[in-house]
Amino acid sequence: MPTRWKFTIEYHGAPFAGWQRQDDVPTVQNAIEQAILSFSGQKVTLHVAGRTDAGVHAKGQIAHADLEDFSKPMQPFEVAKAINAYLRPQPVSIILAEPVAPDFESRYHAKGKLYRYRVINRYPFLAIDKGLAWHVRKPLDAQEMRKAAGYLIGHHDFSTFRDAECQAASPVKTLDRIEITERDYDGAGGREFHFDVSGRSFLHHMVRNIVGTLSLVGEGKWTPEDLKTALDARDRRRGGPTAPAEGLYLMKVFYDE
């Protein structure tokens, strides 16, 4: 009987056309499944907690797969190490490999997700963090963005922040938390903002659309009440821009202990 393995995965999204396996383009799923095949000789299908789009990063993505027993017993650390050996030099790493119960489901057993969106707020272009954060030149007001974000907490119809191609059955979702923090970035006046957004599930581009709209408030183009009006309109055309994929990270997927 095969063993079900749970994998915690980190990846840099820039070289990939998203998570989901596709023909003729590199994806994270392709990379890991091929590494498992090269290591074990087994062709498996990875089942993921939540698919990420092209360019989106992850620090705590979760996936599971069933693997037949290896020719010699291996500790979980050794399984992760063996897969990682075949993933190099691609920017994907198995952080943790764990045998789990046969009925564990990475997607359906998930109780929530935490996303982080990074914004670097300064005028000079980015050298170190290019491709790893959204570069916003106009100064942002964290306090005003926090006021606006308060309108989004709770159970709402998020149609205003839903991509036109979203396939979710309903636009109604519950946001548990939006925390906006800032810190010094470069010692020369630059600021780094983190938008930490957590909830049970999300619409397509929902976090990026929320951050893009909050940026209008931060720049003083909108008031916090303008965001509330946009939310109530339930119309994507009333929302702000979609923030770039390069600033978004899937940080953690939550499960019952």
Tens of pLDDT along 171-203? 999 999 999 999 999 999 999 999 999 999 999
Q: Where are the domains of the chain?
A: 3-100, 112-254
Helix (H, G, I), strand (E, B) or coil at 29: helix
Report pLDDT for 238. Answer: 96
Place of tokens 């943790």: 96
Alpha-carbon distance of 241 to 219, in angstroms, equals 13
pLDDT band per the 50, 70, 90 thresholds, residue 69: confident
Per-residue model confidence as pLDDT tens digits over 200-218: 999 999 999 999 999 999 9
Report the pLDDT value the prediction gives residue 1, as an integer from 0 to 100: 79
Omega within 30 of 0 (cis) for the link into 15: no
Q: What pLDDT shows up at residue 243?
A: 98
State yes or no: is 53 an active-site residue.
yes
Q: Are 55 and 133 in contact (CB under 8 A)?
A: no
Q: What dotted CATH number matches 112-254?
A: 3.30.70.660
Q: What percent of the chain has pLDDT over 90?
A: 94
112-254 matches 3-100 in CATH topology: yes
Single pTM value for the model? 0.95
CATH number, domain 3-100: 3.30.70.580
Is the confidence at residue 110, as pLDDT, over 80?
yes
Question: Which of the four pLDDT bands, split at 50, 70 and 90, describes residue 75?
Answer: very high
Q: Assign 245 to helix, strand or coil.
A: helix
CA 139 to chain centre: 25
Joined tokens for residue 10? 């980190």
Positive or negative CA dihedral for 125, 216, 198, 207? Answer: negative
Residue 114 is predicted with a pLDDT of 98
Q: What is the pLDDT of residues 15-68, one digit of tens each?
A: 999 999 988 899 999 999 999 999 999 999 999 999 999 999 999 999 999 999
Please give the angle made by the CA atoms of 195, 198 and 199, to the nearest 5 degrees.
145
Of the pLDDT bands very low, low, confident and very high (cuts 50, 70, 90), residue 70 is confident
**Residue in 23, 24, 53, 184 annotated catalytic:** 53
Q: Could you give the CA distance from residue 73 to residue 169 in angstroms, rounded to a whole number? A: 44
pLDDT above 90 (res 13): yes
Please say if the pLDDT value at position 88 is more than 80: yes
